[in-house]
Amino acid sequence: MNLLTDSSHREFLLDEARRSLRFFDASLRADGGFDVLDWQGAPLPRGPQELHTTTRMVHSYVLGRAIGHPNADRMIDAGLAYLWNHHRDQSHGGYLWAVGGDDSKLAYGHVFVLLAASSAKLAGHPDADRLLADISDILDRHFWEEDHGLYADEFTRDWQPFSGYRGMNANMHGVEAMLAAFEATGDAHWLSRAGRVLDFFTARMAPAHNWRLPEHYTADWQVDPAYSGNPMFRPAGTTPGHSFELARLCLHHWDLLGRPATDAPTRARAIIERAMADGWRADGGILYTLATSGQPAIRDRYWWPVTEAIGVYAHLLKLSPTEEDRQAYDQLWTFAQTHFIDADNGGWFPEIDDTGQPTTTQFHGKPDIYHALQADLYPLTPGLSRPIEGLANLTT
Given 69, 242, 252, 253, which residue is catalytic?
Answer: 242
Closest of 73, 179, 174 to residue 123, by C-alpha: 73
Q: Are 346 and 17 in contact (CB under 8 A)?
A: no
Given 59, 110, 253, 371, which residue is catalytic?
Answer: 371
Q: How far apart are CA 288 and CA 301, in angstroms?
A: 6
Helices (H), 202-302: 206-208, 240-256, 264-279
Work out the number of other CB atoms within 10 angstroms of the CB of residue 29: 13
Q: CA 56, 58, 59, 65 torsion: positive or negative?
A: positive
| 189 catalytically annotated | no
Integer CA distances (angstroms), 334 to 95, 107, 286, 307, in order: 39, 35, 13, 12
Q: Are 104 and 154 in contact (CB under 8 A)?
A: yes
C-alpha count within 13 angstroms, C-beta hemisphere, residue 164 = 9
| 371 catalytically annotated | yes
> Which residues pair with residue 34 across a beta bridge?
28
Of the chain, the end-to-end C-alpha distance in Å amounts to 18
Q: Are 23 and 16 in contact (CB under 8 A)?
A: no
Query: Number of H helices and number of E strands within the chain?
Result: 14, 10
Q: How far apart are CA 384 and CA 124, in angstroms?
A: 22
State the Cα angle at 357 between 375 and 290, rounded to 5°.
65
Return the SS3 of 385: coil
Q: Tell me the catalytic residues.
A: 242, 371
